């Protein structure tokens, strides 16, 4: 490894036949096992990490956990050990690709296909949980999909798995005291609030639900390039609605995602299998049409390339279009009172990152902290380009942005209006600006929504409103109002139109 292993290199009983790729802890090779016969995937710890106690322990943990699990959806491990001071893991060579690469090419997936992948991943997770293991890093890069076998799916990379409950032989194991390891886009909120000993398999259920959302919509639940904003969203922001991006799906999908991503673990399905059963029931109850085409410009997300190549890659590394570069000068804002400041300070002061080979995003270690009050779910953070030409809205008022236009009824709930667009020549530009300034916001055409919104200006121009919510309580709305700042105001849906300065908090 590190350039030392080439085709023909002999490593104990293994003969290297080619390099499959690199991950956070080492490299993976196609190798021939002369003792048992046949080709294997051989993962070897990088030489420069051999003296790193934490990394060595993580590698051994992964080997033990994977070797002891016997489930059809966990990649079979033939053996592990140490040769010439180098730790290795020998496993079955799988001809397929990880789900992250598949989604880069094919997202969004049909609901039935997503349900099948969730079912198999849940099977593996339930086996791990029954053995007392919490995976702690469920994400698309750690799910291998073999399309030639009807999407047969494997769960891989138990490198940061942890035994449920206290671990006397390694009380802090792979984390600093009070810290958490995981990939941010799929991190359960209790992982940030609690000690590892208090986290159980329901954290994996949360992460698997995040993966489900991404399969159905083509984006992470809380996309963004700012770790502080992403962490805040996992802690306090309500789960996003699948149907906002997939109107072809039934509202039941929103309910399943909301339960699976509930902030309180007690409100989630008790097992991964229970989540999978709910998903399958939706598929069987209401077959849906093929999914919409993938947006040309996906919302920016934190990179999720920290994957170990346990398989024969079906696509080249780094497929184009998976991670759009963030726009110059653009920054995701954490719309949470106190939470944004706290998370940002935590990240600056205490986050440490081990950068794997190839510049991929590593697991991030973040100290635990308490939970602030929730606010609205963030929508896509990269709207379509702007224009200075007048825009004639479609029948429902959709402006062709990355996020579809919303339509609110007079439900009696509160929304926080954060901006408006009243100039037909600037509808797209102004709505985009407000969406960009207020992560989690949506937009509507007042004429097509509740009469609580003024439909036109005195000059007769249609009005677009950009808003956060709706919120289940006035307290939640007031929290979001204070976070939004500026000329934002609360508009009860069903009440007379209000204006900036109206104090209802």
Cα dihedral 362→303→22→354 (10° resolution): -20
Q: Is 280 exposed, middle or buried (0-12, 13-18, 19+ CB in 10 A)?
A: middle
Residue whose pair of structure tokens reads 């030392």 in the numeric block: 4
By C-alpha distance, which of 299, 288, 294 is closest to 110? 288
Residue 238 CB neighbours (<10 A): 20
**Which one, of 450, 440, 396, 400, lies nearest residue 418 by Cα?**
440
- Using N-to-C axis directions, what is the helix angle for 202-217 and 272-285, rounded to 10°? 30
Contact 404/247 with Cβ under 8 angstroms? Answer: yes
Q: Measured at the alpha carbon of residue 407, what is the angle toward residues 283 and 334, in degrees to the nearest 5?
A: 85
d(CA 357, CA 27): 9
Tokens matching residue 258: 């909301």
Tell me the chain's radius of gyration from C-alpha atoms: 24
377 flagged as catalytic: no
Per this entry, what is the length of the chain?
505
| Dihedral pair phi/psi, residue 173, rounded to 5° | 40, -120
CA 394 – CA 405 distance, rounded (Å):
10
**Residue in 213, 216, 215, 201 with CA at minimum distance from that of residue 257:** 213
| Cα–Cα nearest to 278, from 416, 122, 159, 385 | 122
Catalytic residue among 71, 98, 126, 137: 137
Contact 234, 187 (CB under 8 A): yes
Closest-CA residue to 470 (of 455, 485, 454, 453): 453
Cβ atoms of 363 and 182 closer than 8 Å: yes
Active site residues: 137
């Amino acid at each position: 490894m590190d350039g030392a292993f080439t085709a023909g290199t002999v490593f104990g009983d293994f003969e290297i036949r080619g390099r499959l790729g690199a991950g956070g802890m080492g490299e993976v090779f196609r190798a021939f096992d002369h003792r048992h016969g046949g080709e294997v995937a051989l993962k070897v710890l990088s030489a420069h990490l051999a003296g790193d106690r934490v990394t060595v322990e993580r590698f051994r943990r992964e080997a033990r956990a994977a070797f002891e699990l016997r489930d059809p959806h966990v990649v079979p491990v033939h053996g592990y050990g140490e040769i010439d001071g180098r730790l290795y893991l020998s496993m079955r060579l799988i001809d397929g690709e990880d789900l992250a690469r598949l989604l880069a090419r094919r997202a969004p997936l049909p609901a039935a296909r997503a349900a099948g992948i969730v079912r198999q991943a849940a099977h593996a997770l339930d086996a791990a949980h029954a053995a007392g293991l919490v995976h702690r890093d469920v994400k698309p890069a750690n799910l291998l999909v073999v399309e030639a076998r009807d999407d047969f799916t494997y769960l891989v990379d138990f490198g940061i798995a942890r035994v449920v409950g206290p671990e006397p032989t390694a009380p802090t194991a792979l984390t600093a005291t009070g810290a958490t390891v995981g990939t941010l886009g799929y991190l359960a909120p209790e992982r940030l609030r609690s000690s590892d000993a208090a986290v159980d398999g329901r954290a994996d259920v949360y992460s698997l639900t995040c993966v489900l959302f991404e399969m159905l919509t083509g984006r992470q639940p809380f996309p963004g390039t700012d770790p502080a904003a992403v962490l805040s969203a996992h802690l306090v922001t309500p789960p996003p609605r699948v149907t906002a991006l997939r109107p072809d799906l039934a509202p039941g999908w929103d309910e399943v995602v909301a339960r699976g991503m509930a902030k309180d673990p007690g409100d989630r399905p008790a097992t991964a299998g229970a989540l999978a059963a709910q998903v399958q029931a939706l598929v069987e109850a209401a077959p849906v049409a093929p999914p919409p085409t993938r947006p040309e410009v996906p919302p920016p997300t934190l990179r999720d390339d920290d994957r170990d190549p346990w398989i024969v890659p079906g696509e080249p590394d780094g497929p184009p279009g998976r991670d759009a570069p963030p726009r110059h000068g653009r920054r995701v804002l954490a719309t949470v009172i106190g939470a944004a400041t706290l998370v940002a300070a935590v990240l600056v002061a205490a986050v440490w990152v081990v950068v794997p080979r190839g510049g991929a995003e590593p697991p991030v270690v973040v100290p635990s902290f308490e939970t602030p009050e929730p606010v609205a779910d963030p929508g896509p953070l990269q709207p379509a380009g702007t224009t200075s030409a007048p825009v004639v809205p479609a029948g429902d008022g959709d402006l062709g942005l990355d996020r579809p236009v919303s339509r609110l009824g007079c439900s009696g709930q509160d929304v926080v209006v954060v901006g408006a667009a009243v100039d037909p020549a600037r509808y797209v530009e102004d709505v985009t600006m407000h969406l960009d300034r207020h992560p989690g916001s949506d937009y509507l055409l007042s004429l097509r929504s509740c009469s609580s919104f003024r439909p036109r200006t005195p000059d007769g121009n249609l009005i677009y409103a950009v808003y956060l919510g709706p919120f289940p309580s006035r307290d939640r709305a007031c929290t979001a109002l204070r976070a939004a700042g500026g000329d934002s105001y609360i508009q009860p849906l069903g009440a007379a139109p209000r204006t900036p300065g109206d104090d209802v908090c």
